[in-house]
Structure 1
Amino acid sequence: MPWWFWVLLWIALIALSLLLHVMLGYRLFRKFMATVHDLGDAGKRFTNISPTAETSDLEGALERPAPGSAVFASPEQMRHDYLTAKAFRQEVRRQKRVQRKAERGQPQSLHDIELR
């Protein structure tokens, strides 16, 4: 085979290799931009949620003690406060679970229904 055939063959192979890399780079860039776009949409969606919306139920029902007051409180009082807050949080989660299942038309758990 003549020498110029090898030159043409290598030029074609290098050109095809570069074309492949350009195509893969373009696909990667498009996927990256789609991900960035989705993240931007998610950021816009979650910035509309007020940070006090989720904690407003807790703050209304339970008064928060002053910072540092736990150091001087009795262990019985702290245990009572902890158990009361824990029961309240469980009840709020149960109510949300019952409401969510009712909205979706899913069957309720017997454990949740018996607490009512």
Structure 2
Amino acid sequence: MALVALSLLFYVLLGLRLFRQFMATMKDLGAAGEKLGHLNPPEVQEAPGEAEGPRPGSAVFASPAVMRHDYEASKLARREERRRRRVQRKKDRGQPQALGDLDFT
């Protein structure tokens, strides 16, 4: 019986110690959050005429539909830019153009 009582006392003391450590950790995290919350982010200097795009890290909070749309739009823009460079390169070299590369619209 004494062994059971001693082991229960041990578990209670261990639980108290764990709880105090947890509360100290939470207090430290709260202080760190307060300290970081008051810091202002550095001002980002953009080049004149540069289009303002989404801020880095904003994709985490965006909806999947918006991110899919942005991905598809940028993919199409990159494809069109490659096609435009290919047409210009062939024009500069005097090579015949592929019908798929010509923009008839």
TM-score of the superposed pair, with normalisation by structure 2? 0.48
Pick the structure with more helix per residue.
Answer: 1
RCO comparison, higher one (Cα < 8 Å, 6+): 1
